[in-house]
Structure 1
Amino acid sequence: MYSKHTEIFGILGFPLGHTLSPWIHNTLFQLSGYDAVYLVFENERWKEIGMGPLLDLGVKGVSVTIPFKEWAYTQANKVCEASKAMLASNTLILRSGIEAVNTDGTGALTSIMQKNSDLVDPSISKNILVLGSGGSAKGILFSIAKELESKGKNESIKRKVHLLARNQTAMSEIEQSLGNPTWLERTTMDRVLEEKENYDLIIHTTPIGMKGVGGDPILDSRFFTKKHTLFDIVYNPLETELVKIAKKQKAEIIPGYHMLLYQGIKQFELFTNSKAKTKWIRKVESILLRELKKRK
C-alpha cells in the first residue's frame, strides 16, 4: 500500500533487466516497516536527461550502476571521501541538495570482515593480492586503505597489498589516489607464484568468469592452498572457474554476491538514516541467493 507519504527510491543505469537491487531494497523497506518503494529507472540517456525529472518526482535517493557512476559523481554538491578518490559514485542521496556516496568498497570490506577480520589486520605480516585495476579494485582498495591506516600508522603496517594488473596507467591512478602508501606494491605473475605462501587473501576484481565474458582464470591450481581465502566479486555465475579451482584446493571462499548484498545494505542505511538488523540482512541474503540460483 502506497500513500502520499511513501518515499521513492530507485536505481539508475542501462541495461537493468537483471538488476537485483529492487529485491534488496524493497525487502528491507518491508522488513523495517519504512514507508518507501524502490523502482527501476532504466534509460541510456541519463546524462542528457539530468537529475531534474527525479527531483521533480520527489525521489529521495538512487543507486547508480554502469555506465553512470562517473557521471553521478559530477552531479553532486557534496561528495564522500571514497567518491573523491574514485571520481565515481554508486549512490545519490537527494534530500538536501545532491550528495554522492560510494558504497562499493564498504560492501567488499564488510564481506571480508564478516568472513575473517584478521584478513585486513595491519599487524599481521601477510599479503593481500588484488587482481585487476578497474573501478571495483579502486573502491575495494580505498576501503582496505582506510581499515589498515585507521588501525596502524603507515610505518607500522606489516600487511602488504600487492596489485596484479595489465593497465599501468590505472595502477598509477590507484597509487596516487591512495597517497602512494608504502604497503601497496605492484607485482608480477612470476613473483605471485614464488610468494604464494605469503598471501592469505586474494581479491579478484576483473570481469573474467562473469556470465558471457571469456578468458581463462588468472590463477590456477598451482597457486591455491587451504591457507588462502578467495574473494571473487563476480556473482553471476555463483561459482566462477576461479572459485571452483580454489575450492578444489580447500581454500576458503567469500561469495561474490556478498559485496552486492553489503553495498546495498549500506545504501539502505543511508537512504533511511537507520541501521539494518542482522535478521533482515540474513533474510535479504536468502532472497538474493534464491534469485541468483534461478539465473543459472
Structure 2
Amino acid sequence: MYSKHTEIFGILGYPLGHTLSPWIHNTLFQLSGYDGVYLVFENQSWKEIGLRPLIDLGVKGVSVTIPFKEWAYSQANIVCNASKTMGSSNTLLFRNEIQAVNTDGTGAVLSITKSNSKLLDPGIEKQILLLGSGGSAKGILFEIAETLKNNARDKKIQRKIKLLARNEFATKEICDSLGNPDWITITTHEECMKEAENYDLIIHTTPVGMKGYGGEPLLDSHFFTKKHTLFDIVYNPLETDLVKQAKKKKAEIIPGYHMLLYQGIRQFELFTNSKAKTKWIQKVESLLLKQLKTRV
C-alpha cells in the first residue's frame, strides 16, 4: 500500500528489461518497514531529458546503470571520493542538492573478501587482472586500490593490478585518475596469455556475456587454471560463457549477483539513512538467487 508519504526511488538506465534492482529494493523496503517504492526509469535519452522531471516528481534517489554512470557524476553538486576520482557514479541522491555516490566498488570488494579475504592482501605477489574500462571498472578499481592501501598501511604494496581493455584511451584515463601508481599498469591480451600463471584474481566488468549483449570475451578458455578465481560481475545469466569456460578449468568463481546484492544494500542504506540488518541481507540473497534461476 502506498500513500502520499511514500518516498519514490528508482533505477535510471537503458536497457533495463533485465534489471533486478526494483525487486531487491522493494523487498528491502518491505522487510524494513520503510515507506518507499522503487520504480524503473528506462530511457535512452536521459542526457537530453535531464534530471529535472524526476526531481519534480518527488523522486528521492536513483540507482544509475549503463550507459549513464559518467553522465550521472557530471550532474551532481556533491560527490564522494570514489565518484570524484573515477568520474563515475551509480547512485544519485536528491536532497537539497544532488549528491553522487559510487557503490559499485563497495559491492565488489565485499563480494571478493567474503569469498576469500586473502585475495585483497597487499602483501601477496600474485597479480589481479581487471577486464574493461567502463563505469563499473572505474568504481571497482578505485575501491580495490583504497582497500589495498588501507590494508598495507605503511608497508609497500606487493600486489600488482593489470588492466586489459579494448579502449586504450579510457584505460589510460583510469590510471591517470589514480595518480599512476607503479602497482597499476596496462597490459595486452598477448601479455596476459603469457603471464596467466602470475594472476590469481580476474575481474570481468564489461557487458559481454550479459543477456541481450553480443561480443567476444577479452579472454578465452586457454587462459584459466584451477589456481585462478574469476569474478564476472554479470549476473544475468547466472553463468556467462566466460564463467563456464573458467569452471571447466576448475577455477574458483565469485558469483556476479553478489556484487548486485552488496552494492544494492549500500544504496538502500544511503536512500533510507539506515543500516541493513544481516537477516534482511540473507533473506534478499536467498530470494535473489531463486529469481535469477527462474530467468535462465
Q: CA deviation at 1:14?
A: 2.8
Distance 1:222 1:32, change over 3 A: same
- Counterpart amino acid of residue 107 in structure 2: G
Counterpart of 1:104 in structure 2 is: 104
Under a length normalisation based on structure 2, what TM-score does the superposition of the two structures give? 0.93
- State whether structure 2 residue 152 is matched by structure 1 residue 131: no
- State whether structure 2 residue 232 is matched by structure 1 residue 252: no
Matches within 5 A, 1:44-55: 44-55=44-55
2:13/2:41 contact within 8 Å kept: yes
Matches within 5 A, 1:1-296: 1-152=1-152, 156-296=156-296
Distance 1:113 1:31, change over 3 A: same
Q: CA deviation at 1:11?
A: 1.5
Under a length normalisation based on structure 1, what TM-score does the superposition of the two structures give? 0.93
Distance 1:6 1:147, change over 3 A: same
Q: Give, in whole Å, the separation in 1 of the partners of 2:219 and 2:76.
A: 39
Q: Secondary structure at the match of 1:156?
A: coil
Distance 1:221 1:161, change over 3 A: same
100-109 or 35-44, which deviates more = 35-44
Distance 1:158 1:262, change over 3 A: same
2:18/2:211 contact within 8 Å kept: no
Distance 1:100 1:216, change over 3 A: closer
- Counterpart amino acid of residue 137 in structure 1: A
Q: CA deviation at 1:136?
A: 1.8
1:141-160 CA-to-partner distances (Å, cap 9, x unmatched) read 11111111122258700111
Q: Give, in whole Å, the separation in 2 of the partners of 1:166 and 1:63.
A: 26
1:154/1:181 contact within 8 Å kept: no
179-188 or 149-158, which deviates more = 149-158
Q: Give, in whole Å, the separation in 2 of the partners of 1:272 and 1:123.
A: 37
- Counterpart amino acid of residue 234 in structure 2: V
Q: Give, in whole Å, the separation in 2 of the partners of 1:241 and 1:171.
A: 24
- Counterpart amino acid of residue 129 in structure 2: L
1:101-124 CA-to-partner distances (Å, cap 9, x unmatched) read 111122111111111111111112
Q: Which runs of 5+ in 1 are unaligned?
A: none
1:225-259 CA-to-partner distances (Å, cap 9, x unmatched) read 22211001122221112111111221110011211
Distance 1:216 1:154, change over 3 A: farther
- Counterpart amino acid of residue 156 in structure 2: S
- Counterpart amino acid of residue 35 in structure 1: D
1:164-193 CA-to-partner distances (Å, cap 9, x unmatched) read 223221121011011101111222333323
Q: CA deviation at 1:139?
A: 1.4
Moved beyond 6 Å, runs of 4+: none
Q: Give, in whole Å, the separation in 1 of the partners of 2:167 and 2:13.
A: 26
Q: Secondary structure at the match of 2:259?
A: helix
1:43-101 CA-to-partner distances (Å, cap 9, x unmatched) read 33433433333223322111122333222222211011111122222111112211111
Q: Give, in whole Å, the separation in 1 of the partners of 2:35 and 2:61.
A: 14
Q: CA deviation at 1:163?
A: 1.3
Q: Which runs of 5+ in 2 are unaligned?
A: none
Aligned residues: 296
Q: Give, in whole Å, the separation in 2 of the partners of 1:205 and 1:87.
A: 16
Q: Give, in whole Å, the separation in 2 of the partners of 1:206 and 1:40.
A: 22
